[in-house]
Amino acid sequence: MTQPKKLFIKTYGCQMNVYDSERMAEAMGGQGYVQTDSPDDADMILLNTCHIREKAAEKVYSELGRYKGLKSERPDLKIGVAGCVAQAEGEEIMRRQPMVDLVVGPQSYHRLPELEAKARGGEKALDTDFPEEDKFERLKSRPKAKRGPTAFLTVQEGCDKFCAFCVVPYTRGAEVSRPADRVLTEARDLVERGVRELTLLGQNVNAYHGHDRGLAGLIRELAKIDGLERIRFTTSHPNDMDDDLIAAHGDCDKLMPYLHLPVQAGSDRILKRMNRQHTAEQYLRLIERLRAARPDLHLSGDFIVGFPEETEEDFRDTMALIEAVQYGSAFSFKYSERPGTPAAERPQVSEAEKDDRLQRLQALLTRQQRALQDAMVGRDVGVLFEKAGRLPGQMVGKSDYLHAVHVAAEGLQPGDLRPVRIVESGPNSLKGVLV
């Protein structure tokens, strides 16, 4: 009996890359590959890359360097680079690292089996096109294996916003939405295999237009699926948060009270320089409307400090916006230049100023996060349990508000959704007891 070939995938970056890696593994499963957790015994190594953060490409080249020894020992080992760095660097990757056998962009990974076959034949394989065909329809259907209680589901890709700091429009392309019927079919299949919570993914997910009522319409259709208990979505742009989607936060019970809504800065001057196309005041009024629809809504955001030409006054405006919103969680970063984006050509803020501002901003966000987490003590929340904890008899899951919650109780299983009373707040999680 022929032994299956082994595939090792290393995934960088966002949840969309996690989803893409799953689908690439499924595509290669049709070619006789099974996944392995180690590159050492792999027949193919695939790096699914992200181009958002500073020196992303250099980190990929560094990672590839670690596999030179494996390639020397086993010349038949195939090495591929996928994702956004692959899209941005293309032929440069093969020029700098001749051991790479194939490079595939995020819109072409449905062609991965063809590229692997070409590489097995001794040719270099490169595909960074933006093909017209629907890659999701070209991919083999998901295998019918049992799934964990949560899953990602990509519904939208690409972005038309062209923020001055961002490479996504260049690496992922224009906004494209999957038709609602295809999303619903995939969702039902996931639920049949044990999924109870779906997170809808998109670079700009609330720009989804595959349903005639947009993302809200899709969410309402998904909510009708028996067995699907929770719905989330990420990442959104403030300009695409329409009235129906705001209303859904109040009247759709399966839509969880947690929203990631990046603003990036609180200074109107910097927001304009970023090409965000909204003001700080417009963002704050949007938050008011969302909280009017769902008063217990927990908000998450993204912040960039040290954007080109940012002054101390601009930074204070950002701190004031954070104080006004009171975030439950957030992601914050120093601005890093992305070649080819407008902001990379502008006067840069010193690294020392970036470091100082990031420390102050993160200290404020940490205080807010801890305060909101501490305020959960004494409340009853739903918890979807996902895995065993570190202690005997302990199970860990996520609350409605996406907090990690651990409970010690007999008989709990992954996939159980149970009411829990929060009794203690720790640094990064909550302790609860079954109600």
Q: Concatenate the DSSP letters of all residues of 176-235 into one string.
A: EE--HHHHHHHHHHHHHTT--EEEEE-TTGGG--SSTTHHHHHHHHHTTSTT--EEEEE-
The reported pLDDT for the residue numbered 275 is: 97
Residues 408 and 430 in one domain: yes
Domain boundary among 230, 256, 282: 256
The reported pLDDT for the residue numbered 52 is: 64
Quote the CA–CA distance of 221 and 231 in Å, as a whole number: 11
The reported pLDDT for the residue numbered 177 is: 95
Residues 15 and 114 in one domain: yes
pLDDT at residue 57 greater than cutoff 80? no
CATH number at residue 424: 2.40.50.140
Per-residue confidence band for 132, with pLDDT thresholds at 50, 70 and 90? low
CA distances from 122 to 12, 40, 97, 102, 399 (A): 28, 22, 16, 11, 50
Q: Would residue 139 count as lying in a domain?
A: no
Is 84 annotated in some ligand binding site?
yes
pLDDT at residue 211 greater than cutoff 60? yes
The reported pLDDT for the residue numbered 133 is: 57
Range of the domain at 27: 5-127
Strand partners, 159: none
Is 166 annotated in some ligand binding site?
yes
Q: Would residue 133 count as lying in a domain?
A: no
Per-residue confidence band for 2, with pLDDT thresholds at 50, 70 and 90? low
Q: Would residue 132 count as lying in a domain?
A: no
Q: Would residue 138 count as lying in a domain?
A: no
Residues 309 and 330 in one domain: yes
Entry pTM: 0.80
Residues 191 and 235 in one domain: yes
Per-residue confidence band for 94, with pLDDT thresholds at 50, 70 and 90? confident
Q: What is the mean pLDDT of the chain?
A: 91
Q: What would the mean pLDDT of 372-401 be, rounded to a whole number?
A: 96
Is 50 annotated in some ligand binding site?
yes
**CA angle 255–184–109, rounded 5-degree value:** 105
Residues 218 and 112 in one domain: no
Q: What would the mean pLDDT of 205-223 be, rounded to a whole number?
A: 97
Q: Would residue 136 count as lying in a domain?
A: no
Q: Would residue 134 count as lying in a domain?
A: no
Quote the CA–CA distance of 104 and 362 in Å, as a whole number: 36
Quote the CA–CA distance of 208 and 97 in Å, as a whole number: 38
Per-residue confidence band for 397, with pLDDT thresholds at 50, 70 and 90? very high
Q: Would residue 315 count as lying in a domain?
A: yes
pLDDT at residue 54 greater than cutoff 70? no
Residue with the larger pLDDT of the pair 327 and 61: 327
CATH number at residue 213: 3.30.750.210
pLDDT at residue 142 greater than cutoff 60? no
The reported pLDDT for the residue numbered 86 is: 83
237's tokens: 């742009």
Residues 389 and 412 in one domain: yes
**Per-residue burial over 397-433, b = 16 or more CB atoms within 10 Å of its CB, e = otherwise:** bbbbbbbbbbbeeeebebbbebebebeebeeebbbbe
Q: What would the mean pLDDT of 248-256 be, rounded to a whole number?
A: 98
DSSP string, 295-325: TT-EEEEEEEES-TT--HHHHHHHHHHHHHH
Number of domains observed in the structure of the chain: 4
pLDDT at residue 143 greater than cutoff 80? no
122's tokens: 């001794």
The mean-pLDDT minimum among 186-195, 339-348, 374-383 falls in 339-348
Q: Would residue 35 count as lying in a domain?
A: yes
Residues 205 and 244 in one domain: yes
The reported pLDDT for the residue numbered 59 is: 82
Please answer whether residues 405 and 383 qualify as being in contact, where contact means their C-beta atoms are separated by less than 8 angstroms.
Answer: yes
The reported pLDDT for the residue numbered 136 is: 61
Give all strands of the β-sheet with 102-104 in edge-to-edge order.
33-35, 5-11, 44-49, 78-83, 102-104, 125-127
Q: What would the mean pLDDT of 429-433 be, rounded to a whole number?
A: 97
The reported pLDDT for the residue numbered 130 is: 61
Q: What would the mean pLDDT of 167-185 be, rounded to a whole number?
A: 89
The reported pLDDT for the residue numbered 171 is: 77
Domain boundary among 375, 390, 409: 375
Residues 277 and 244 in one domain: no
pLDDT in tens, 64-89: 998 989 999 998 999 999 988 888 78
Residue with the larger pLDDT of the pair 218 and 113: 218
Residue with the larger pLDDT of the pair 126 and 230: 230
Is 252 annotated in some ligand binding site?
no
